[in-house]
Amino acid sequence: MNEVLHRLEMKEFTNDQIREIQEGIEEGLDVTVYAKKEFLAIQMQQIRMGLLKVFR
């Protein structure tokens, strides 16, 4: 997991974006759906929550 987070930091994600991606990883979600710099952290959170509803 640390390697993934390190790579995310290298791509210039904000701390809030990294937190949303990390939560998705911990929840077993495919974070590639929303791990894009153009999404705000709040948008990532909304996508993550939607994925949780669909896949749980």
15-54 pLDDT, tens digit each: 999 999 999 999 999 999 999 999 999 999 999 999 999 9
pLDDT at 26: 93
Domain range for 30 is 2-55
Q: Would you give the distance in Å from CA 46 to the centre of its chain?
A: 10
Number of domains in the chain: 1
In the predicted model, is pLDDT for residue 1 greater than 70? Answer: no
In the predicted model, is pLDDT for residue 55 greater than 90? Answer: no
pLDDT band at 12, cuts 50/70/90?
Answer: confident
Report the distance separating Cα 23 and Cα 2, nearest Å: 13
State the pTM of this model.
0.82
